[in-house]
Structure 1
Amino acid sequence: MSLQFERVDVLIIGAGLAAVTVALHLPRTLNVLLVAKHEVTSANSDLAQGGIASSYLEPSSVDHERDTLVASKLAAVPDRVYTLVEEGRTAIQELERFGVVFDRDATGYAVGREGAHGMNRIFHAGGDETGRHVMATLRRQLPDNVTVMEHVLIDTLTKSDGRVSGATGFNGETRLHVQAGAVVLATGGIGGLIDWTSNCRSVTGDGLVLAESVGARLTNLSRIQFHPTLLAVDSPHLVTEALRGAGATLVDTSGNHVMGQHPLGSLAPRDEVARTLTNHVGPVYLDTSRVERLDERFPKLVATCDAHGIDIRRIPVRPGLHFHMGGVDVDAYGRTKVAGLYAVGEVADTGVHGKNRLASNSLLECWVFGKRVAATMTLEEKPFTVNETTVFEVSDDLFGRYRQQIGEWLTISPQLGKIVSFLENTQQLPRTKHVTRQLSEQTLSIEAARLLARAMMRTEDGYEQDRFARTADGIST
């Protein structure tokens, strides 16, 4: 097998907003390599519809802070939340300096509102295609010291004298070794492990496996958010929460308001809406009859509904896996407990989301904490030593069956027996030294799913008395 070797100051694994933010803010004297598992646009950041939450136009960040903590079920870390919302007040101006153009109307910024927000504070770019516009703009601003490589799968982190010294993987089908003074995990969440999700198929929890393999701590893995409104068709498409912020309501076949008993109605926190819709008998629709300028404000949604022959005035929806609040344990600057290893974005557990993420805080988290990682990163070159790599020896058919099993328990209401069955079925999988890209990718997915399954088992064992709270974590019976 041919081998490619790269030697860089900083290796960033991922290509979404968290990764790009770090790359944009590192000193330009550094040699930075940013690698994408598939195309750079195959990142959840590019799919973001809702926008970026910020108290930029408010007198202070106090209300944004309160809304974030309340939505988290008071499980978020207060000082981290303060960091997010206070430093996030300048995010809009900073993004504009990089060329991002936010939507405006006759009164100024066209800010919207989403679930559990007490006021309009969601900034959009290109209507419901904020992520695509922001990412395209920022990627064009990447400086010459940043090299971007697509179709790179990182399957192992290397470590020397207690410090991460680089990584190995595949560039296409070529074996790749990268020596680095520091490594940043910006690999995203876990949604791609199953089919019914708002996430990219390639986002499969790789960062969790990589971090755990070198001794980093993983926390709150059972805290999984399900978005209430994915388009209820054969293949999932996210229906942005901003639509409800603009006046759409969740109704049943008779037109009754499904969330009518909640004080916030259809704009209740995501976990509460998702739980209600999951337990609802019969179809649920978004009634958009009160939404003004629908075509102008939600062009992607209109095009998607047209393509599926759906009446835009009555959109069928159902919950789907959306966001992982847990992840790699980091401090306020993205540092893990392993020297030389940082984590940022959805792969990291920064403590700002608690048991339920407030809508549109995810892109804000990437920007705020991505800047912090870049500002405090330290580099140290260590010997690059590669240990023997093995992977699970699984056929395509067997992996497909495992993936189907994952989809049966990685739900808003998983059955304990299905989790146990998956863990038992994958416990004694044979390993091989014949490492291929496909087997490496499948191995990472299975290992990530096993990490989640074991975390769910621990949640079941430790909090059996708290079934209501665990529903917000995605663990209920």
Structure 2
Amino acid sequence: MSLQIKKTDILIIGTGLAAVATALHVPSSLSVLLVSKGEVTSTNSDLAQGGIASSYLEETSEAHKEDTMLASNRTSCSERVDILVKEGRRAIEEMERFGVRFDRDEDGYALGREGAHQLHRIFHAGGDETGRHVMRQLRRSLPDNVSILEHVLVHDLVMKEGRVVGALAFHHEEMLQLEAGAVILATGGIGGLIDWTSNAKTVTGDGLVLANRCGAKLTHLQQIQFHPTLLAAEEPHLVTEALRGAGAKLVDASGNHVMAHDPLGSLAPRDVVARVLTDHVGLVFLDTTKVKRLRDRFPKLVATCDKLGIDLRQIPVRPGLHFHMGGIEVDESGRTDVDGLYAVGEVADTGVHGTNRLASNSLLECWVFGKRVAEAIQVNDASLATSDVMVYDISPETFQAFRHQIGKWLTISPNLDEMKCFLQNTQTLTLTKHVTRQLSEQTLQLDAARLLAQSILEMERYDEHDLSTRTAATVSD
């Protein structure tokens, strides 16, 4: 098999908002290559519905900070949240300079409100298709020094003298060596490891494995957010939290409000609502009878429900895996503890989300910290180096059996016995040097799941009443 070689100043693994925001702000004198495991649009950013939270129109960012801290049960790092909300005040105006058009009404911006927000501060573009609209325009704005290569599976980072100098990959089925002066991981979260998720299928924790292999520190991997409202149909579809902000209410089959006990009702923090819906016996619906202009404001949801024959007045929902708060430990500018390696977006643990992310803070994080990485990045001369890679020698059938097992324990209430069984079984797998794209992709997914399982089991050794305090201290360190 022939080996292709590409050289670039900066390699960004990912093509979502974190990757694109970084690329937009890198000096034009540097060459930038973005690589996508699937198509360029196969990202969680493109799927984002809710919008972008920003205190752009508020007098200060203090209320946004307080909502962020409260949603996380005060486990977010206060200093990092300051960065997010203060610099995030400029995000809307900055995106508009790149041609993004946010929704407006007769009073100005058509702001939405979502769970755990005190105020209407969610900016939308195209109703409930914010991600698609924002990403399409920002990708069009990428300068000439930035190029994109699709269908690239990065299966290992290459190191030389303690520094990351590139990556080994497959472009389709052909082997590819990428030499770079700096590497940025923007690979997203972990949702694609299981079927019941709001995430793109390609988002399977690759960045965690790549960083771990070269010695970068991973933190808080057990902090996983489950979204309360995925469409309860054969295939998962996210039902945006903005629908509840517009007046929809979570009810049971008899019409009783299932969140009536909470002061914030159906707009309580995501982790609270997801837990209630998980424990609830019987179906839960979103009653949308009080939502005005539903078809105009939520076109994607309407089209999905119409296609599936679901009554828009009573939409059946259930929780599903949505966002990973933990990840690769980074400083305030996206640097890891490995020279030449940076991380940004959901794959990074910036400390801004703590144990529960505030709704619509994720796209804001991508923009704010993407800019910071671009400003801080240091590029060395790309140099040739080699790396030996071994993968699990398993059949597709065996791999699918493992995926099924992952789905049993990667839930809001993890099954520890299933988790231990998974770790034991994968620990005995045979390794081979005969690397193919399929074997490499399977190995990355299994190793990502192993990292998650190990982290969850490690946390189970501690008393649960002690968890919030200890986590807050760790995030702030």
1:19-50 Cα deviation digits (max 9, x unpaired): 00011100111111100000010000000000
* Larger mean Cα displacement after TM superposition, 319-328 or 24-33: 24-33
Question: 1:178 matched to which residue of 2?
Answer: 178
Secondary structure, in 3 states, of the residue corresponding to 2:311? Answer: coil
- Asked if 1:104 corresponds to 2:104, the answer is yes
- Asked if 1:332 corresponds to 2:332, the answer is yes
The alpha carbon displacement at 1:471 in A equals: 13
Question: 1:224 matched to which residue of 2?
Answer: 224
Question: 2:416 matched to which residue of 1?
Answer: 416
The alpha carbon displacement at 1:387 in A equals: 1.9
Question: 2:153 matched to which residue of 1?
Answer: 153
The alpha carbon displacement at 1:383 in A equals: 3.3
Question: 1:77 matched to which residue of 2?
Answer: 77
AA in 2 matched with 1:245:
G
The alpha carbon displacement at 1:428 in A equals: 1.1
Query: CA RMSD of the aligned region, Å?
Result: 1.3
The answer to whether the Cα contact below 8 Å between 1:158 and 1:384 also exists between their aligned partners in 2 is no
Question: 1:212 matched to which residue of 2?
Answer: 212
CA–CA distance in structure 2, aligned partners of residues 452 and 466 of structure 1 = 20
CA–CA distance in structure 1, aligned partners of residues 386 and 409 of structure 2 = 35
Question: 1:293 matched to which residue of 2?
Answer: 293
Distance 1:22 1:109, change over 3 A: same
What are the residue-to-residue correspondences of 1:397-436 with 2, within 5 Å? 397-436=397-436
CA–CA distance in structure 2, aligned partners of residues 384 and 43 of structure 1 = 30
Distance 1:218 1:471, change over 3 A: closer
- Asked if 1:68 corresponds to 2:65, the answer is no
AA in 1 matched with 2:286:
L
The alpha carbon displacement at 1:2 in A equals: 1.2
CA–CA distance in structure 2, aligned partners of residues 374 and 204 of structure 1 = 25
Secondary structure, in 3 states, of the residue corresponding to 1:450? Answer: helix
CA–CA distance in structure 1, aligned partners of residues 306 and 112 of structure 2 = 24
CA–CA distance in structure 1, aligned partners of residues 305 and 444 of structure 2 = 34
Secondary structure, in 3 states, of the residue corresponding to 1:295? Answer: helix
Question: 2:28 matched to which residue of 1?
Answer: 28
What are the residue-to-residue correspondences of 1:71-470 with 2, within 5 Å? 71-381=71-381, 383-466=383-466
AA in 1 matched with 2:446:
I
1:302-336 Cα deviation digits (max 9, x unpaired): 00000110000000000000000000000000000
Percent sequence identity over aligned pairs = 66
AA in 1 matched with 2:349:
D
Distance 1:55 1:290, change over 3 A: same
Secondary structure, in 3 states, of the residue corresponding to 1:285? Answer: strand
CA–CA distance in structure 1, aligned partners of residues 388 and 409 of structure 2 = 33
Distance 1:408 1:471, change over 3 A: farther
What are structure 1's unaligned runs of at least 5 residues? Answer: 473-477
CA–CA distance in structure 2, aligned partners of residues 387 and 299 of structure 1 = 48
Secondary structure, in 3 states, of the residue corresponding to 1:462? Answer: coil
CA–CA distance in structure 1, aligned partners of residues 24 and 397 of structure 2 = 42
CA–CA distance in structure 2, aligned partners of residues 468 and 210 of structure 1 = 29
The alpha carbon displacement at 1:380 in A equals: 1.0
CA–CA distance in structure 1, aligned partners of residues 382 and 238 of structure 2 = 44
CA–CA distance in structure 2, aligned partners of residues 455 and 401 of structure 1 = 22
Distance 1:50 1:180, change over 3 A: same
Matched residues, number: 472
Secondary structure, in 3 states, of the residue corresponding to 1:178? Answer: strand
Secondary structure, in 3 states, of the residue corresponding to 2:366? Answer: helix
CA–CA distance in structure 1, aligned partners of residues 447 and 175 of structure 2 = 21
The alpha carbon displacement at 1:464 in A equals: 4.3
AA in 2 matched with 1:344:
V
The answer to whether the Cα contact below 8 Å between 1:412 and 1:471 also exists between their aligned partners in 2 is no
What are structure 2's unaligned runs of at least 5 residues? Answer: 473-477
CA–CA distance in structure 1, aligned partners of residues 344 and 5 of structure 2 = 25
Distance 1:134 1:97, change over 3 A: same
Normalised by the length of structure 2, the TM-score is 0.98
CA–CA distance in structure 1, aligned partners of residues 371 and 462 of structure 2 = 36
Normalised by the length of structure 1, the TM-score is 0.98
CA–CA distance in structure 2, aligned partners of residues 43 and 410 of structure 1 = 21
The alpha carbon displacement at 1:352 in A equals: 0.1
AA in 1 matched with 2:78:
P
CA–CA distance in structure 2, aligned partners of residues 299 and 309 of structure 1 = 15
Distance 1:209 1:49, change over 3 A: same
CA–CA distance in structure 2, aligned partners of residues 468 and 416 of structure 1 = 20
The alpha carbon displacement at 1:368 in A equals: 0.1
Secondary structure, in 3 states, of the residue corresponding to 1:351? Answer: coil
CA–CA distance in structure 2, aligned partners of residues 470 and 338 of structure 1 = 26
CA–CA distance in structure 2, aligned partners of residues 352 and 463 of structure 1 = 24
Secondary structure, in 3 states, of the residue corresponding to 1:96? Answer: helix
The answer to whether the Cα contact below 8 Å between 1:187 and 1:206 also exists between their aligned partners in 2 is yes
Question: 1:475 matched to which residue of 2?
Answer: none
The alpha carbon displacement at 1:463 in A equals: 3.3
Aligned structure 1 segments of 4 or more residues deviating by more than 4 angstroms = 464-472
CA–CA distance in structure 2, aligned partners of residues 235 and 439 of structure 1 = 26
Question: 2:475 matched to which residue of 1?
Answer: none
1:331-354 Cα deviation digits (max 9, x unpaired): 000000001100000000000000
1:451-476 Cα deviation digits (max 9, x unpaired): 0000001010123445899999xxxx
Secondary structure, in 3 states, of the residue corresponding to 1:461? Answer: coil
* Larger mean Cα displacement after TM superposition, 415-424 or 364-373: 415-424
CA–CA distance in structure 1, aligned partners of residues 356 and 217 of structure 2 = 21
The alpha carbon displacement at 1:381 in A equals: 1.9
AA in 2 matched with 1:389:
V
